[in-house]
Amino acid sequence: MKHERIEATASELAVGTSSSLLIEPNSYRVWAALSNGGATDVWLALGEAAVTGKGIYLKAGGGAVVFDLNMPWKGEVRGIATAAVNIGLVDVGVVP
């Protein structure tokens, strides 16, 4: 039986007023969570440029999204905010 290693990283990501890459594509991703503890709203886009007011909404002060078996996403995630803000990321993947 082959054993695979699971690797997790936690980081803080800067989101600005123009679309920016937050998570690189990763075919080995099994789980990822983004949370917005800041004072500015954030919108996320999957595989395309992020646009204010469109896509996955992370409300200021606690909005969050999880990508897992119920909502899988292995592609890129881009974000945009109404003003500069830092959000949290935990990304978990299998190391081949």
Task: Read off the pLDDT of each residue in 21-31 and give the average, rounded to a whole number.
Answer: 93
Query: What pLDDT shows up at residue 59?
Result: 98
pLDDT at 3: 62
Q: Output the CA–CA distances (angstroms, integers) from residue 20 to 6, 11, 15, 85, in the order listed.
A: 27, 16, 7, 12
Q: Give yes or no for residue 2 having a pLDDT over 70.
A: no
Instruction: Provide the pLDDT confidence category of residue 80 given band limits of 50, 70 and 90.
Output: very high
pLDDT in tens, 32-44: 999 999 999 999 9
What per-residue confidence (pLDDT) applies to 69? 85
pLDDT category at 1 given cuts 50, 70, 90 is low
